[in-house]
Amino acid sequence: MAASKKPSKKAPHKHDEVVGPERMTGADAVVRSLEALGIDTVFGLPGGAVLPLYESLFAAEKLRHVLVRHEQGAGHAASGYAQASGKVGVCIATSGPGATNLVTPLADAYLDSVPVMAITGQVGSPLIGTDAFQEADIRGITMPITKHNVMVRSHEEIPAAIAEAHHIASTGRPGPVLVDIPKDVQNAEFDFTWPPARDLPGYKPNTKPHSRQIVQAAKMIAAAKRPVLYIGGGVVKAGAHEELLAFANETGVPVVTTLMALGVFPQSHPLYMGMPGMHGSVPAVGALQEADLLIAIGTRFDDRVTGDTSTFAPGAKTIHADIDPAEVGKIRAVDVPIVGDAKRVLEQLRDVFKDGKAHAPSISGWIDRLNELKEHFPRGYDPQSDGSLSPQFVIETLAAQVGTDAIYVAGVGQHQMWAAQFLNFEKPRTWLNSGGLGTMGYAIPAALGAKAAAPDKEVWAIDGDGCFQMTNQEITTAAIEGFPFKVALINNGNLGMVRQWQTLFYDGHYSHTKLGGETYVPDFVKLSEALGAESIRVTTEEEVIPAIQRAREINDRPVVVEFIVGEDAQVWPMISAGASNSDIQYALNIRPFFDLEESAGEAPEDIDDVVDVEAAEKSETEKCETEKGN
């Protein structure tokens, strides 16, 4: 008799360690599920509807709970943790107002595709729908701003609900999820087992790009005379920075990175042209406007990049690759649509060129043109006419002192744009900010989360006086919990970006934008010290470097360095909202003219002359079959 074959041993999934059956409460099951998923930190604030969960957290051995001072802080901290680490950030809130305080950070995470899991308590099941004390339909409220949400009706469903939410948050296009758990469900006992069976029949994100679309894209790239890689935050989320660098080096195509993608491509690289958009660099905006081919990867053609879409990159054909099929072609008509993971898209595109099935485009004249723009329109700023400290000088000096290994977290407004312009980014996940929602108050709690995710990294929050007053209570959380990040507080005494618009478009009518300025109300030094931080005030250029050096020496508590800057500093370049990118102003009343100048290289007569189409398609088909077999 022939010996029977032994069953092959399949490597277990990292979250598939078998546990149970073990008797426990629903609240215990939440904790055990999070631990089984590899979650090590949660941010939250207790309340009546989550007291059973907090009883379980009290005995948790593998899970650290960080007690924030406001639920909004918990949500932004979870987001900062996720953006810095690439893992799912978790926040916890009680029912009613606790849960509704998570709405802003969930909306923020939704627009920036950040994997955040919110776990909320709910009133007991018999009370749902009765307008009970602290009852709110948080599932209905957050449905438009979460990738997935669910109310758990039975304690036996908890392990699967947590596992499914984690899977949805972290796969495909990442995003926030919410799990709402009534108090009685948390209290009920059952036999816990792990791993649970996941039942998500309709959720199958497509990560593998179609080989024919890859080949079509390669044909267009090879034939282009003025191509540009237009890179968005999806490339960061996909961990595709190495593939992007390799593809750019292989083809010689210049690169622009959106606000959410800063750091995914080294800014010191000669092919880097900068950040496009409303306050982008002239070379980056010029590259898009004069391009004949956009290679858009992991980006959604946001209005802050495109301006008037009818005049955006008017002479360019478009390749658009994104893991979310809903984004492809949503804003701009696409010539070659590619649905798939950015890492695989870039890897397969590079292989077509690397293997000699396509030739790199001849674009030396195009590169010369963009380098000319870089030379004629460098980043810079004018000193303040009143002799006050320039915010750009502060951030430029901070960049020189701290370097590119630190994590920088920005609030929203002028200081955010100056940080994007004057910091130097060489690595992914070193720049965190609120891009899509533009949430004032993001920086302080997000820096807390980033420091929790990367305790050995130097973390700097760059915040404005308006933003700081929205969430500064989390400085206390950092002081007590031991997260010694630094804050560069840019204090111009105003809601600076709104003031800039009032200066330019509302005849200088500064309607309700002045916050205090030279009167030092509030006194941020005293306030920061009361919250548990070391604080330093800087008013002159000579004080900037010593203050930064002093802040970097303090590592047992957070540090707030307040820089008193001029109130009339403005962010340039600038494209007015809804205007054409061709009307970019390098400074007030000064703009370049994008004339779609031809590059030196000529396109071939026959596009197939530069791509061995049959060989490339055959190669991609063979790769797909090999992957399927594995």
pLDDT single digits (tens) 315-331:
999 999 999 999 999 99
pLDDT single digits (tens) 332-386:
999 999 999 999 999 999 999 999 999 999 999 999 999 999 999 999 898 888 8
CATH of 211-376, one of 3.40.190.10, 3.40.50.1220, 3.30.200.20, 3.40.50.300: 3.40.50.1220
Architecture of domain 391-564: 3-Layer(aba) Sandwich (3.40)
* Active site (annotated) includes residue 242: no
Query: Which member of 133, 143, 242, 541 is catalytic?
Result: 133
Is 128 in a helix, a strand, or coil? coil
Q: Which of 497, 486, 476 is nearest to 447 (CA)?
A: 486
- Residue 21: asked if its preceding bond is cis (omega within 30°), the reply is yes
* Active site (annotated) includes residue 87: no
CA distance 282 to 573: 7
* Active site (annotated) includes residue 183: yes
Q: How many CB atoms lie within 10 A of CB 588?
A: 12
Query: Which member of 278, 470, 497, 574 is catalytic?
Result: 497
Buried b (16+ CB within 10 A) or exposed e, 326-363: ebbeebbebbbbbbbbbbbbbbbbbbbbeeebbbebbb
The tokens describing 501, both together, are 């618009």
Query: In the prediction, which pLDDT does 12 show?
Result: 39
CATH of 19-194, one of 2.40.50.100, 3.30.379.10, 3.30.499.10, 3.40.50.970: 3.40.50.970
CB-CB contact of 53 with 44 (8 Å): no
CA distance 100 to 141: 8
* Active site (annotated) includes residue 134: yes
- DSSP string computed for 77-106: HHHHHHHHHSS-EEEEE-STHHHHTTHHHH
Instruction: Region of 131 please: left (phi>0), alpha (psi -120 to 50) or beta.
Output: left
Query: In the prediction, which pLDDT does 387 show?
Result: 87
Query: In the prediction, which pLDDT does 605 show?
Result: 40
pLDDT < 50 stretches in the chain? 1-13, 596-611, 613, 616, 620, 624, 626-630
Query: In the prediction, which pLDDT does 7 show?
Result: 35
Q: How far is CA 180 from CA 30, 140, 161, in A?
A: 11, 11, 10
Domain range annotation of the chain: 19-194, 211-376, 391-564
Q: What's the sign of the alpha-carbon dihedral 472, 474, 477, 483?
A: negative
Query: Which member of 24, 43, 71, 213 is catalytic?
Result: 71
* Active site (annotated) includes residue 225: no
Query: Which member of 87, 147, 183, 317 is catalytic?
Result: 183
Query: Which member of 134, 384, 401, 473 is catalytic?
Result: 134
- Find the angle CA(502)-CA(508)-CA(513) to the nearest 5 degrees: 55
CB-CB contact of 133 with 97 (8 Å): no
